[in-house]
Structures are given as structure tokens and as C-alpha cells.
């Protein structure tokens, strides 16, 4: 019975001594807390190979090709690089590196309908104007084509013009 009390007393002393240490532990920028100690993070372009312990710091290794980490991290795997799929109108504007993801933009004839952090997520084909319309504003990488109806007395056969053509009066030119 005495031994049990001693064990409990020893446990209580250890617990009360650990609580102030864990509450007071504040790691610096570029470090993370693991099991009551501050460990360095891996820099951009690297991943954790082995977590830190009391005898040594975090072991970091470079990201594999076609993977990246953009910020200091404790990731055990680097993030896969995005692929710009031409079938969806996407083209590569900036290749992936070990420290940054691929940046996609739209191929000619498409505009970006969903932009996130200067990266195009989805491209849509530019609108095609119909006969009887003209192109008020040609589509760009960020905006769709704007079509307008031809004003009275004008026409557009295929909707590819920047202005409508006036109707001609063939009766007035006929001599009788």
C-alpha cells in the first residue's frame, strides 16, 4: 500500500512539473512544437524526411520532380504540381518549380471563367456572335466576347464584323 501511494505521489509531482513547461513553450517563427520541444520546419522546396527529436533537428530533403512546397512546412510529402490540360483550354503560363505550383492560363479563343490567386482554374470558349450581330468587344484571356444587335438599316451576315454594314437600296440606283 505504501508503494502505491509513492507511485501516485511521484506521478503527481511529474505531472505538476510538466504542466508549466508545456504551457510556457512558445516556438519561434520557422519552428513547430513536437512532444514538448521546438523543432525547425523545412524550407520551401523541401519536405520532412525524419521528424526532430532530442538528439537532432528535423531532417529535410528536396521535393521530388513535379512536386513542390511553397512555404516553410512540416509536410512529409511535397504537393503535386498542377497540370494545365489543353482539352479544357488551359495552357502553361509558368512551369512548376520545387517552390511554386504551375500557373495556367487560357489558350487563344478562350477566357478564364474561374481565377484563383492569378491561376486560371477553368477556361470557356469565347462567345460567337450570330448573324444580325456585331462584335462590340473582342474576347480576351479574362473577358468573354460581347455581341450587340445591329442597328436598324444595317446587317451582319455572320457576326464576325466589328460594325454592321448599311443596307443598300438597289431600287434607287436603277434607271428607268
- Same-domain pairing of 111 and 134: no
Report yes or no on 113 lying in a domain: yes
Task: Report the distance separating Cα 48 and Cα 54, nearest Å.
Answer: 16
- Same-domain pairing of 75 and 92: no
97-134 per-position pLDDT tens digit? 999 999 999 999 999 999 887 789 899 999 999 999 99
**For the domain that residue 104 is a member of, what is the CATH number?**
2.10.50.10
- Same-domain pairing of 36 and 71: yes
131-164 per-position pLDDT tens digit? 999 999 999 999 999 999 999 988 888 878 888 8
Q: Which of 105, 125, 145 represents a domain boundary (last residue)?
A: 125
Report yes or no on 137 lying in a domain: yes
Which carries the bigger pLDDT value, residue 1 or residue 68?
68
Report yes or no on 53 lying in a domain: yes
Report yes or no on 2 lying in a domain: no
Residue 99 belongs to domain spanning: 81-125
For residue 103, what are the CA distances in angstroms to 88, 135, 145? 14, 30, 24
- Model confidence, pTM: 0.64
Report yes or no on 118 lying in a domain: yes
Please tell me the total count of domains within the chain. Answer: 3
Report yes or no on 36 lying in a domain: yes
Task: Report the distance separating Cα 167 and Cα 78, nearest Å.
Answer: 64
Do 163 and 148 contact (CB within 8 A), yes or no? no
- Same-domain pairing of 73 and 94: no
Amino acid at each position: 500500500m505504501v508503494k502505491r501511494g509513492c507511485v501516485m505521489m511521484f506521478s503527481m509531482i511529474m505531472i505538476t512539473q510538466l504542466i508549466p513547461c508545456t504551457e510556457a513553450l512558445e516556438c519561434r517563427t520557422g519552428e513547430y512544437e513536437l512532444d514538448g520541444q521546438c523543432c525547425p520546419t523545412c524550407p520551401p522546396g523541401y519536405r520532412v524526411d525524419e521528424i526532430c527529436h532530442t538528439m537532432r533537428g528535423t531532417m529535410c530533403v528536396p521535393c521530388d520532380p513535379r512536386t513542390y512546397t511553397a512555404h516553410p512546412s512540416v509536410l512529409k510529402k511535397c504537393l503535386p504540381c498542377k497540370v494545365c490540360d489543353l482539352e479544357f483550354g488551359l495552357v502553361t503560363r509558368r512551369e512548376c518549380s520545387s517552390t511554386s505550383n504551375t500557373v495556367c492560363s487560357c489558350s487563344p479563343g478562350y477566357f478564364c471563367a474561374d481565377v484563383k490567386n492569378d491561376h486560371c482554374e477553368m477556361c470557356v470558349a469565347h462567345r460567337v456572335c450570330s448573324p444580325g450581330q456585331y462584335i462590340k468587344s473582342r474576347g480576351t484571356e479574362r473577358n468573354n466576347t460581347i455581341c450587340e444587335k445591329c442597328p436598324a438599316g444595317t446587317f451582319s451576315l455572320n457576326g464576325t464584323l466589328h460594325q454592321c454594314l448599311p443596307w443598300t437600296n438597289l431600287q434607287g440606283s436603277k434607271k428607268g
